[in-house]
Every structure is written in structure tokens, then in C-alpha cells.
Structure 1
Amino acid sequence: MIRDIGALQVLIGGLMLVPLIVSLLYQEWYSALAFLIAAGVTAIAGGAMYKLCEDAPEPQRHHAMIVAALGWLATAAFGAIPFVIAAYITPSAVLESFVPAGASYQSSLLNFQNPLHAFFESMSGYTTTGLTMSVHEPSVGHGFLWYRSQMQWVGGAGMIVLSLAILRQPHGIAGISLYQSEGRSEKLRPSIAGTARAIWKIYVGITALVAVYLAVATFIVLPGYGIEQTIFDALNHAMTGQSTGGFSTLDNSIAGYNSYAMDIVHIPAMITGAISIPVYYAAASERDIREFTRDPQVRALFGLFIVGVVGLTAFLARWVGVPYNGDPLGYVGRVATSQAFREGLFQFISAQTTTGWQTSAIGDWNNGAVMFIVFGAMLLGGSAGATVGGIKILRGYIVARGISWEVSRVFLPDHAIDDLRIGQRIFKADEANDEIRAAGTMAAAYLIVLALSLFVLLAVLPSEFTLADAIFEVATAQGTVGLSSGITGPGMPVIAEILFIIQMWMGRLEIIPVLVLITSLFRR
């Protein structure tokens, strides 16, 4: 286990050299030094761990689960180092230069003098959550903006999957166990190493296409935005969109563009990340775009978009609708409804895909709108096999089909064949029961952890926040969504901050690896 965790840290240390280069390009010398020191510490520590246990036997299934749980925890810890170093070594004058002209706030890098805030940011990044302690994102500098996006991009496809693709290539049960430990099950190639490489080829290709699309679209919509900033934003938002992570280069997320057209431009960048990578692979291999329409998760995803956007718009219109001279259909009311549709469209898709880009002050919404987006989008999330969080559409679909199947079986004669069809696959009764049991168990565990987290948060939550705010915040942390009702920030209670770190960690790994780790601590 130590060997595999060490190999992962060697990889993470090497990847820190990329934001180092970005910092140098923008002449952010202290940020570059922070990345250099952190990269060296991380790679040396990882190399020592690997060398110390180089001859250890290959991991079995429960070992792989522990590797995933501890590996992600260690990665978040080492990933926090650059934030802390930069927060302490960067002079005040340099920090002030990061703050946009005319702004009255201080650099958010100072928030990371608190190591817990740095650990929170790192965990949020690698788990593709998007909750942040960088209150004013532009004030951390280009190097750290890139680093935040890079963390989400790497975490989206999976760090262990990346490690399997370019570093360790175990065979047999060991390779399968490590591959499955990050919540993946479907093999794209005969070997695990081949599957890992295929995933990353698809992932890199789609991210590149999204980056080009965003750059071209921004040039068209905002021609005066500037070439350098357009390209930088497009690259970062392509990484955080495809990973459904949601970090942004802008203050106030996508709302920072102050453009309805730019809201629309970024919607496809969220949807591409919510579609299962095996579906992309099948479409590319068969050269048949109909693979997307054949996938039940894709069909369900777009069906949820339609129903959810209409429902959320209705709740928001009720909130913002202002009658004009007593006439509920007056001019002001129609304008408010239009704004409700704008926010409902973007925010529901952002929540369903678990991306977390934000264009609305969710903390000001009515409780109905908040609860609708939690139960209608954030709990379920997008497709299994994608970079999304939540319970996943496939599990929800299996549970729903299972309920329907159990009810219909009551009316069948004794000699009838009671197979269950899920998508393109047909399961015998025993196989169907296993699929339903696995999906139901995961969903139940997810909801139990969510409920326990809610009770903890309510015990420490300041009085100005409502129950709806608390439910929203625990759902966004565990679902790795990243939208916020206003609770998350440097001034939040320490217990709440630790709670959200644990939720992000468990949510990204789909709970079971963390439970295996906890169980192993109490077993001989």
C-alpha cells in the first residue's frame, strides 16, 4: 500500500512543475518558488515511500480500497503545500499586485496561511468539488489559478487511473482492484493499463476540443475581452468543466462575465463532463454518434435537464416575480420570469452535472428552490463512468427499474421468465438482484452519511443560516458539486470545515473505500 501511495505522490510532485512554468510565464516568482519547493518535497517523499516498499506484494481488493482512501488523503495533504508556502513567502507588495485594479479586498492567498484552509482547497480541487477558500479568485495569481484547475482536471479522470496509465502497471486482480477503487468498473481495453490509457486519451481529447470551443465562442461573444485572457480562461474552464469541478478564473464564477451569452456558452462545457467516458469510447471506436442516444444515462440526463429547468424556473419565478401595478402579468413580472429562466437553466444544469459554476446568489433563494435543486439534481448527479459526483444516474435507474420489476413479478405466472432489462443488457433473476442490491446499498450509504453530516453541521451552524441552507451545503460537499448557499468560506466554523473535507473525500470515492479503511483500523 505504501508503495502505491508513494508512486502517486511522485506523479503529483511532477505535475506541480506545470503551474511552476505558468507562474514563470506570468513572472510570479514567489509562486514559482512555492511550486518548486512543494514539488521537490512531494516527489522526494513519494519516492522514499516507493523505494522503501518496492518489493511489497501486489494489493488485493481490500488493500486497493485502502490505497485509494489513503492515496487521495495524502494527495490532498501534499497538494496543500504550495498554498501554504506561497501565503507566507510572498511579500505584501506582490500580493497587492495580484488584486485587480479598483478592487478593495486583499489577496485571497493570505487565507492559506491557515493550513486547514489550504488542505480544504486542495481536497476540494482533487475531488472536483469546487468549494473554495479563494474568496476572490483573481487575487491568487495566474499560477495558482492554473494549479486549482489542474487539480480538478487530474482528479476528474482519477489519479490512480493516471498512475496506472504512465507509472505502475500491475496485472490481474491487483490491476483490476486498483482501477475499481476510484469508482470505475467498465474496462475499455483487455488490459487495465490499456483501459487507463484509453480513458486519458479520450479525456485529453475532449478537454482540448472544449478549450478550442470556449476560446472561439469567447472571441465571438466578447471580442474586447483580450486574446491572452480569453485563452487562459478557455484552458482553465475547459479543465474545470470537463472534470465537472467548477473552479473558475473569475470572481463570482461564470457570473463574472456579466453576460447571458457567456452563460449559454459554458453550458455545453458542463454537459460533456457529465457523459460517461465509455460512451465517448464506443462512439469513437464504432464511429457512430448514435451511441450517445442509445445510452440510457444520456437519455435520462437530458430528460432531467428539461424537467428540472422548468421546475426550478417555476420556483425562482415565484421568488423574483414582481407584479406591475397589481397586475401579476405586467411588464416587471415578465422580466423577472426571464431572469428566473436564465438562472434556472444554468444552475440546474450546473447542479445536475455537479460542475458547480455559479451565476446566482443561491443563499438568497426561497427554500422551495433550494430544496428542488438538492433533491432534483445534486443528490443524483450525472452518469456513472463520467467525472461527476452524487449517487449517479445509473444507480438511480437501476433502483427504479428494480422497483418496477419487483412489482411486475407479482403478476407473472410461476413458469414465466422474469429477466430484467437495464439499458442494452438483460439480467437473470439472481444477477438482477445483485445489481439492485449493489445500487441500493450505495444509495443507502450515501444518504446515511448525508444525514449524519447534516446533524453535525446544524450543531455548529451560525443562526443566520436556515435548515435549507444546511441541507444544500452538505449535499453540495458530498456530491462534489461546489455550489454554495454562503456557508463555505474562511470564516466558517472549524468543525464545519473539517466535516466538508471528510464529505468531499468520501463523496469522490463513493464512500466504500473510506469505510473499508475505517473497518481495517479495527481489524487485526
Structure 2
Amino acid sequence: MNFLTASKTVIRDIGGLQVLIGGSMLVPVLVSLLYQEWYSGLSFLIAAGITAFVGGLAYKLCEDAPEPKRHHAMIVAALGWAATAFFGALPFVIAAYITPPAVLESFVPAGAGYQSSLLYFQNPLHAFFESMSGYTTTGLTMSVREPSVGRGFLWYRSQMQWIGGAGMIVLSLAILRQPHGTAGISLYQSEARNEKLRPSIAGTARAIWKVYVGITALVAVYLATATFLVAPNYGIEPTIFDAVNHAMTGQSTGGFSTLDDSIAGYGSYAMELVHIPAMITGAISIPVYYGVLSKRDIREFTSDPQVRTMFGLFVVGVIGLTAFLARWVGVPYNGGPVGYVGRVVTSQAFRDGLFQFISASSTTGWQTSAIGDWNSGAVMFIVLGAMLFGGSAGATVGGIKILRGYIIGRGINWEVSRVFLPEHAIDDLRIGQQVFKADEANDEIRAAATFAFAYLVLLGLSLFVLLAVLPQEFTLADAIFEVATAQGTVGLSSGITGPGMPVVAEILFIVQMWMGRLEIIPVLVMINSIFRR
């Protein structure tokens, strides 16, 4: 396939993605109209028209292009996600310029002394950052005060993460284009997915979305019911709105919130506990859910090594982070009953440690604590113990993934054990329910270790770039935390991310979110293909 023909293949498939993205923008149009946010609705309508027109034109002009090979599929993924973030930024920019000041002021809560965060999106780079953070399910944001963007844009931010969580190419394979043979497999795997739930790729894509939609709906019902019980005075409309939005951003492990200060905006320990299961459900592999539903056997959860490892990490991690935070929040005893201060300190440390470790480990990124004020030990513990590996492969999480860490750990133990085996002993490697021969085991270990190495190299390079432009008030631990949260698509922040950050840092985080969501390889394939022509 020559360069021109290959380019047409890539353009066609990227165009098809944008048709879907343009169509999805009609949903926030309806939400905006429901809340009488006319200018927001108009912004989405204009952006939807532009996106669908450009995508449809690209698709039509290149409709006769051949099916993609594996490296073409990788390029489609890399450029397709970048193009989606570009077009996804259009509503923010359009609304920032066409919405009258009086309307913007109406989005700001009464008595608040700040401006609408929509104004920040007059800078196209901020809008591109928000869109990339949304579709990659990261959750870092330029919306400093979330409620001040209006209900239409709150919904849109959640919707971006929900679509990005299951994967846009997977969505395309489910409802738009269904290529046969290796072309479909290549496109499917280009979004860092390998599991096959049904005989065909189109069937697998549909199964993923059915499970994903079903779990999201159940989480929304759970959150609404729990909120009614825990905070009955919160109001029916905000309860339902928050529940649906948080179900989308929780199941996608994206972490955008409808509240100022994320989940801390509720000001309730009970509401924090309510939202913990919504993070955990998103960190469990979709094939595990599919196995439970298809086999009608709840033991599919307990037999999965990633689920067992994840809950084990939760227990150890929460205890460890609580210990570090207990030192941070400790205050001198200055009166009151003996031991009172110690009990309060331990309770607050456990509250923050429980929520923030699970939020980081699931890469959801909902925040209830000022991480920028933590001691360096707590910051580094949550980076190394939670953010680096993330949740289960096959879920919507970022990071290296538990499965790869599990394979590397099992591989090390396997290599050591083989030394003590008799010369002709069978040295198979068991990983979960699968048994691998020696050659297959070496391939699995090599693949996991190669990705982990590439991930750490990118993280190290990103850290050096950030340190070169970082303001002096931030520490090395803050910098490590921020590059880890961007690349792991976690979304927690130590305070570096915001409209006032250096431009170089903002571009760096955009690249990290993009590469982190695609697991690096598609971007490297794209760069390699540019030089190869």
C-alpha cells in the first residue's frame, strides 16, 4: 500500500470517528435547552455541525480506500484521538466567545466572588486541554470553578469521559463500520484492548458497550438512591443530575465532577463513602463483568487475579497512606481530654487515605483533600503505590495496569523457581486461569516488561521537561505527582494544573494524557511511519 492509499485509509477512518463525535454533541444541546442555556446549546449545535461535516466529507472522499493493516490502525488511533480532542474543544471556544457577560454571570453561584470558568476557554489551548483530558478520561481541568460553566457543559464534560472510557474506535466498530478479518482486529487492538468477548470484533464491541451502559445505569441508580438516603435535603433535580454525571465519570474512571472542589464539595464524609463503590466498579475489567453475566456466576469476580490483587492493594495502600497522612495532619496537644487530638487526627488521616488511595489506584481522580499540602512521603506513596499501576487491564483505567505488574511479578518468581527444578521438569507459568509454555511465558513477560520500561522512560523525560519550567513554589514531589497523574490519566492534582500554568507544562500534559490513554505504542508507530513515509 503506497503513501497516498494509506493516507486515504487513515483519513476515512478518522472521518468516521468525527461523524460519531459530532452526533454525540447533540445530546448536550438537549441538556442545554432543558436548562434554558440557549448560548451553550447554540455552541454545541455549531460545533456538532462543523465536526460532522468535516468528518463526513473526509469519510466520503476516501470511502473506497482499502481496509487498514495493523500499523494503519495504530495511526488511526493516534491521530483519531488527537482529532477528536481538537473537534471536542470547539464547543468550549465557541461558547466562551458568543455567550454574553450577563449570561456568564448567571452561571456563577450567588455571592461567589469569581468569574465563569467558560471565559478561560477563550484560549484555544485551554479548550484543547479540557477536551483531551475529557476524552482520555484523565480529569485534570481548566474549569477552576466547575458549576460556573453551566449544566450543559457539566454534562458535556461527563459525556466526553464516558465515551472515551469504553473507547471511540470500539464505539465506531459497534455502530458505524464493521471491517472484516484482520482489519477489524487491528482497529480494535489499537485502543489498547486485546480481550475478545464474542466470535466477531463487531460483536465484541457491542458486548463491551452493552455491559458498559448497563453498569453505568446501575451506578446512577445506586448514587441517586444513596444520595436521597444520606442527604435528603439536597434536592431531587440536583441529586439526579449529579448521580447520572458521576455515574458516567465514575464508570469511565474519568473523575470530572459537577461540584466545585470535586466530591469534597458535598462537605460530607457519608457522601465520600457513597462514591467509593462508583470508583471501584470502573476499575474492574469489563470482560470480568461479561463473564459474570454470561455464566451467571459471581465467582468470576473472586477468581480473577486482577480483582484479588486490586483489593489487596486497597487494604495495604489505605493503611500505608493513612500512616503518612497522620504525620501530616498531626497538631500539638493544647488542651481537652487526653488522647482527643490523636483520635481526631487519625480519623481525618484515615478519611483522606481511604478515599484518595482508591481514587488514585482506580485512576478516577475524584479529590477530597488538598494534595499539594501533603508531606512528600504521602505524595510519593500514592504515586508509587497507586497511580503508577492503576486498575485492571480491560477496564477504563490508566497506568501500567495491574495485570502487567502481576505478570512481571509472577515472571520474576518463575525465573527464580526454574533454577531449582530438575533438568527435564515441566516449567509452565500459570497466570490466573491461563497456563503458558516456556516460550509463551517469555513472550508475555517480555511484552509486559517492555511496556513498563517505555512507560517509565516517558514519565522520566516528562519530569525533566516539567522541572525546567515549574515555578519555584512547587517541590520535586509535586512535579513527580503531576506528571504521573497526567500520564496515568488519574486527574488528581497537587496544584500545578490550572489556567495559569506554564504553556510548556500544559502542552506536556496534553501529550502525556494522549500517549498514556493509548498506551504509548500507537503514537510511536505514528512517529515511525512519518519518518518511513
- TM-score in terms of structure 1 length: 0.99
Q: 2:75 aligns with which of 40, 43, 66?
A: 66
**What is aligned with 1:362?**
371
Match of 2:440 in 1: 431
Q: Which runs of 4+ in 1 moved over 3 A?
A: 325-329
The AA in structure 2 aligned to 1:86 is: A
Query: SS in structure 2 opposite 1:522?
Result: helix
Distance 1:483 1:381 in 2: 13
- C-alpha distance in 2 between matches for 1:2 and 1:59: 11
After TM superposition, give the deviation of residue 380 of structure 1 in Å: 0.3
Q: Which one of the candidate residues 184, 187, 192 is aligned to 1:178?
A: 187
Deviation at 1:324, TM superposition (A): 1.8
- 2:461 maps to which residue? 452
Q: CA deviation at 1:451?
A: 0.2
Indicate if the aligned counterparts of 1:323 and 1:329 stay in contact, CA closer than 8 A: no
Structure 1 CA distance for aligned equivalents of residues 469 and 498 of structure 2: 14
Residue 213 of structure 1 aligns to which amino acid in structure 2?
Y
1:441 corresponds to which of 417, 428, 450:
450
Aligned to 2:143: 134
2:330 aligns with 321
> In the alignment, what sits opposite 1:77?
86
Map 1:330-341 → 2, pairs under 5 A: 330-341=339-350
- Please state if 1:345 is matched with 2:354: yes
- 1:26 maps to which residue? 35
**Which range moved further: 37-46 or 328-337?**
328-337
Deviation at 1:327, TM superposition (A): 11
**Counterpart of 1:169 in structure 2: which amino acid?**
Q
Aligned partner of 1:509 in structure 2 is: 518
1:125 — aligned with what?
A: 134
Alpha-carbon distance in 2 for matches of 1:464, 1:473: 14
Aligned pairs for 1:390-401 (under 5 A) are: 390-401=399-410
Question: Deviations 1:170-190 (Å, cap 9, x if unpaired)?
Answer: 011000000000010010000
2 CA distance for matches of 1:190 and 1:101?
Answer: 56
Q: Aligned partners of 2:196 and 2:443: how far apart in 1?
A: 20
What are the superposed Cα offsets for residues 70-91 of structure 1, whole Å, 9 maximum, x if unpaired? 0000000000000000000000
What does the per-residue CA deviation read over 1:42-96, in whole Å, with 9 as the maximum and x for residues that have no partner?
Answer: 0000001001110000000000000000000000000000000000000000000
Aligned: 1:35 with 2:47 = no
Matched positions, count: 524
- Counterpart of 1:431, as a letter, is E
3-state DSSP of counterpart to 1:123: helix
- Partner of residue 197 from structure 2, selected from 154, 179, 188: 188
Secondary structure of residue in 1 paired with 2:322: helix
After TM superposition, give the deviation of residue 330 of structure 1 in Å.
2.2
| Structure 1 Cα separation of the partners of residues 337 and 284 of structure 2 | 40
Q: For 2:418 and 2:531, locate their aligned partners in 1 and report how far apart those are by CA, in whole Å.
A: 42
What's the CA shift for 1:323?
A: 3.8
Shift of 1:325: 4.3
Matched with 1:262 is 271
For residues 228-243 of structure 1, what are the structure 2 equivalents within 5 Å?
Answer: 228-243=237-252
2 CA distance for matches of 1:492 and 1:322?
Answer: 32
Q: Compute the displacement of 1:347 (Å).
A: 0.1
SS of 1:426's equivalent? strand
Structure 2 CA distance for aligned equivalents of residues 191 and 326 of structure 1: 69
TM-score (norm 2): 0.98
**Residue type at the aligned position of 1:267:** I
Distance in 1 of aligned mates of 2:18 and 2:131: 14
What amino acid maps onto 2:249 in structure 1?
T
Out of 417, 421, 430, the position equivalent to 2:426 is 417
Q: CA deviation at 1:322?
A: 2.1
8 Å CA contact 1:420, 1:432 repeated in 2? yes
Aligned to 2:3: none
Q: Which residue of 2 aligns with 1:110?
A: 119
- The superposition leaves residues 379-407 of structure 1 with CA deviations (integer Å, 9 ceiling, x where unpaired) of 00000000000000000000000000011
**Aligned residue for 1:89?**
98
1:433-512 maps to which residues of 2 (within 5 A)?
433-512=442-521
* Structure 2 residue matching 1:186: 3-state secondary structure: coil
Distance, in Å, in 2 between the alignment partners of 1:266 and 1:186 is 28
Distance in 2 of aligned mates of 1:62 and 1:311: 43
- The match for 1:389 is 398
Partner of 1:6: 15
Letter in 1 for 2:148: S
> Alpha carbons of 1:126 and 1:328: their partners in 2 closer, same or farther (altered >3 Å)?
farther
SS in 2 for 1:405: helix
Partner in structure 1 of residue 7 of structure 2:
none
**2:164 is equivalent to residue 155 of structure 1:** yes
Q: How far did residue 334 of structure 1 move?
A: 1.3
Residue 279 of structure 1 is matched in structure 2 by 288
Which secondary structure does the structure 1 equivalent of 2:430 belong to?
A: strand
Rounded to whole Å, the distance in 1 between the matches of 2:348 and 2:383 is 20
Say which SS state the counterpart of residue 532 (structure 2) adopts.
Answer: coil
Against the structure 1 CA distance between its residues 329 and 302, is the aligned structure 2 distance closer, same or farther, given a 3 Å change threshold? farther
- Give the % identical residues: 86
Q: Which consecutive unaligned segments of at least 5 residues does structure 1 have?
A: none
Task: Please name the residue that 1:521 is paired with.
Answer: 530
- Matched AA of 1:67: V
2:259 is aligned to 250
Equivalent in 214, 219, 243 of residue 223 of structure 2: 214
Q: What amino acid is the match of 1:409?
A: R
Picking from 288, 291, 295, the partner of 2:300 is 291
C-alpha distance in 2 between matches for 1:7 and 1:437 = 35
Aligned partners of 1:156 and 1:245 also within 8 Å? yes
Q: Is the 8 A contact 1:321 1:334 kept in 2?
A: no
Letter matched to residue 470 of structure 1: A
Q: What residue number does 2:174 align with?
A: 165
The amino acid that maps onto 1:239 is: M
Q: For the residues of structure 1 that align with 2:370 and 2:335, how far apart are their CA atoms?
A: 27
Please tell me the residue identity of whatever aligns with 1:89. Answer: I
